[in-house]
Structure 1
Amino acid sequence: MAAALKIYIVTFFFVAIFLCESNGERCGTSSIQVQTINTGTTVSGGDLVFEVEVKNLCPCAVRNVRLDGGGFASTVDVDPAAFRTDDGNFYLVNSGEPIASMATVNFRYAWDHFFLMTPRSLEIDGQC
């Protein structure tokens, strides 16, 4: 009985740590994974095409996900529903609409190098 209780308590703490960031919120910017992949193709003018995948690792849906674009630029149009400027240096993902848990939003851009994009802010969508 005591061993089962210890296992339960340890499991509870691991789940609590997974669901909570250090600031006590269930999900934070570390719940957003941003991967940039060189597709190996180029556009006219020689710029490389990159595909960005923004994935929600939070167990809850999130909305108003904003990324720091690190000086982002593109020689091709980027789908504004997926990624658009929001405040000069910050970019809104998925038009601010909810991104379900474990779901991804993808977009492509072209430039002579990749841009490091980091999550800046998000909101948890409703109760979770």
Structure 2
Amino acid sequence: MTTSAIKPLTVLFFFLAVSLRGTNGEPCGTSSIQVQTINTGETAAGGDSVFEVQVKNLCPCSVRNVRVDGGGFATTVGVDETMFRPVDGGVYLVNSGEPIPSMGAVSFRYAWDHFFQMTPRSLEVDGQC
């Protein structure tokens, strides 16, 4: 192989290593958790809009103990606490801390007069990846 062919391969290898492991050497970080909120178009009994939140794991590994900042979260309907429950000062545990497989998602619904911006706060990589 020529020297000119080795440079692009080295750059490609480095890019793949960083994208799979992250810049701090960990396999996944909070940026690998996607939180998407959609307005379902439904209304709850009190007239509030019903929103569905999907928390998706984009990491190539299974993750657990996913926590999100709730952004002032409130609801006028009950939320399945196995999917989303408060743990500490505006931080919420997703899926009871159980693993979310790679490319897997969990979802829950709430009702309020507006949506809440939720952002990933922390997670643990589940086992070897």
After TM superposition, which residue ranges in structure 1, 4 or more long, deviate above 4 angstroms? none
Gapped regions of structure 1 (runs ≥ 5): none
How far, CA to CA, are the matches of 1:119 and 1:87 in structure 2?
A: 14
Determine whether 1:94 maps to 2:95: yes
Question: 1:77 is matched with which residue?
Answer: 78
How far 1:58 sits from its partner (Å)? 0.6
CA distance in 2, matches of 1:11, 1:109: 43
Corresponding residue SS for 1:115: coil
Aligned match of 1:115 = 116
TM-score (norm 1): 0.93
> SS of 2:88's equivalent?
coil
Instruction: Give the root-mean-square deviation of aligned CA atoms.
Output: 1.3
Deviation at 1:19, TM superposition (A): 1.4
What amino acid maps onto 2:45 in structure 1?
A: S
SS at 2:38 equivalent: strand
Task: Give the structure 1 partner of residue 127 of structure 2.
Answer: 126
**AA at the equivalent of 2:91:** F
TM-score normalised by structure 2 residue count = 0.93
C-alpha distance after superposition, 1:8-51 (max 9, x if no partner): 32321121121132322111111100000011110111100001
Which runs of 5 or more residues in structure 2 are unaligned?
none
Aligned residue-pair number: 128
Aligned to 2:48: 47
For the residue of structure 2 that corresponds to 1:34, the secondary structure is strand
Shift, 1:98, TM fit: 0.5
2:77 aligned partner, one-letter code: V
